[in-house]
Amino acid sequence: MGVKMNKKITIIALIGIALDQIIKFLLSNNLRITIIPDFFYITSATNTGGAWGIFGNHTYWLVAISIVFMGLLIYYIKGETNKTKLEETAYGMLIAGVIGNMIDRIFLGLVRDYLDFYILNYDFPIFNLADSLIVIAVFILIIEEVRGAHNEYNSKRRK
């Protein structure tokens, strides 16, 4: 059973990485496409840092941190025996996001971004699919952890 779960995580990760890199390649020209005026644009941008540009121009550190994180994550996933289908999906998404941005950092020295939102007159930092996969995966894993703790608490109360 553990092998099938790892296959699912691997397939999701590979699909996410491929989509991320294809979209980044297709949108690599300088462009600005209005999707929803004053709210959502496709904009070519680059980022030499992490989220919100933190650690800008520290590509080697960000790659090193990503490699260490991936090693720890894979070690944790392999040790996790009772993964839900949602957790498997989230792990695949998380791996895809980290590797998608790491590929950019290793080969380009920066990350290509393109999703540009203006929220309540705030120009939110431009991001990409890999960033979205990371955030959504972490959100799912938090919900699953809270849900699991809640279920465990309820089952103990019933005894």
Taken in order 70, 74, 80, 82, the sign of the CA dihedral is positive
Cite the active site residues: 113, 131
Q: Which amino acid is at 106?
A: I
**Two tokens at 55?**
């650690």
Angle at 73 between CA 71 and CA 77, to 5 degrees: 120
